[in-house]
Amino acid sequence: MSRPGSLAEVMGALGNSLWAAGLAAAATTLIAVPLGLWLARRPSVLARGLERAAYLAHSLPGVVIGLSVVMLGITVLPALYQTMWLLTLAYCA
């Protein structure tokens, strides 16, 4: 039978989860707002293509995105593998 850790461990994990979620929310907003403004003010074929590319991630299962980010971290960005930066990138996808 497994037992949860101490209250300090649980609170530490909660703090890390909230930090990761906050970073991901800020990063996603920083990416989405300029694209939305660009599409609203100057609609073009490129802007519409980027908007459709943003929706592409919603059509993929989460495990596909997760494995892709892991493969990216291992092969292309090994310095970022298992860091908060790569986790934030995965949340933005």
Q: Give the pLDDT confidence score for residue 2 in this predicted structure.
A: 59
Sequence ranges of the domains in the chain: 7-92
| pLDDT at site 79 | 94
Tell which residue, 76, 77, 39, 70, has the closest CA to residue 93: 70
Residue 35: which residues within 8 A CB-CB, separation 6 or more? 47, 50, 51, 54
Position 50 scores a pLDDT of 86
pLDDT by residue, tens only, the chain of 93 residues:
556 678 888 898 899 999 999 999 999 999 889 988 998 998 889 988 988 888 887 888 889 988 999 999 999 999 999 999 999 988 887
